[in-house]
A and B are shown apart, each in its own frame.
Chain A
Amino acid sequence: KQEVTQIPAALSVPEGENLVLNCSFTDSAIYNLQWFRQDPGKGLTSLLLIQSSQREQTSGRLNASLDKSSGRSTLYIAASQPGDSATYLCAVTRGGKLIFGQGTELSVKP
């Protein structure tokens, strides 16, 4: 059974810091891995999608890596801003299903 774990559960940083969010999964037979952002009271927004054959994806200040063999992914956020405050969810796709971690709640203080 595929399990997805995210560490830390919560993170508070001052504005301008670079930070890393971690995601680990137990079964490496995944179709892809995605990072989502969830704002309070809102739906999920897909940030980055990494196919199983890829090692990383970048979008603006965000960079996500994937190491299937070790069952790990990281989301790197450069020069964090208060607007980055949200919950970040990692999810793997397997058998047509998204399997989510429990998220990291990020707070960026001005």
Chain B
Amino acid sequence: DTAVSQTPKYLVTQMGNDKSIKCEQNLGHDTMYWYKQDSKKFLKIMFSYNNKELIINETVPNRFSPKSPDKAHLNLHINSLELGDSAVYFCASSPETYPNTDTQYFGPGTRLTVL
């Protein structure tokens, strides 16, 4: 009965590879997010989708491409991985509609290490 789940939990890969992180929420929420937490623990929003539509796209390299096949899933695909992409990536969802979002429910995070 996990609310927001992410797979994998850990991802170790070589520079230049392409990888995906999956996120699913079973809360029936319309809005989903991807956040990146860097080595200094600073959390920053990357993308937000509302009902499968991209509504927030921060200044993120276009090697990062989110995909929402349905409103319960928001996947993150990363091309040509670089050392600086090493971080913890969090998925979140919210029951409210953009821009009036209140509570956000976070997944457990995916720790990506690029060697």
Tell me what chain A mostly uses at the interface: helix, strand, loop, or mixed. strand
Where the two chains meet, the residues of A that have a C-beta atom closer than 8 Å to any C-beta of B are 31-32, 34, 41-46, 49, 87, 89, 91, 93, 95-100, 102-103
- Contacts A97-B45, A100-B43; A46 near B103 (Cβ below 8 A): yes
- B55: CB under 8 A from chain A? yes
Residues of B within 8 A of A93 (CB): 101-102
A44-B41 contact in complex given A95-B99, A96-B48, A96-B55, C-beta closer than 8 Å: no
For the complex, is B66 an interface residue (Cβ under 8 Å from A)? Answer: no
How many B residues face the partner with a CB closer than 8 A?
27
Per-position 1/0 for B34-73, Cβ under 8 A of A: 0100001111110010000001100000000000000000
Distance of A96 Cα from B99 Cα, bound (Å): 4
A31 vs B92: C-alpha distance when bound (angstroms): 18
> Contacts A100-B42, A103-B41: A32 and B102 contacting too (C-beta < 8 A)?
yes
Chain B contacts for A42, CB-based, 8 A: 108-109
Interface on B for A, CB 8 Å cutoff? 4, 31, 33, 35, 40-45, 48, 55-56, 90, 92, 98-109
Given contacts A46-B105, A96-B101, 9 further A-B contacts (CB under 8 A): A43-B90, A43-B109, A44-B43, A44-B90, A49-B103, A96-B99, A97-B56, A98-B33, A99-B45
List the A side residues contacting B44 at CB < 8 Å: 100
Q: CA separation between A32 and B94, bound complex, in Å?
A: 14
Closest Cβ of chain A to B14, distance in Å, is: 24
The reply to whether A46 and B104 form a contact with Cβ atoms under 8 Å apart is yes
Chain A proximity of B9: nearest CB distance (Å): 9
19 A-B pairs in the complex with CB atoms less than 8 angstroms apart: A32-B102, A43-B4, A43-B90, A43-B106, A44-B90, A45-B106, A49-B102, A89-B43, A93-B102, A95-B56, A96-B31, A96-B48, A96-B55, A96-B101, A97-B56, A99-B45, A102-B40, A102-B41, A103-B41
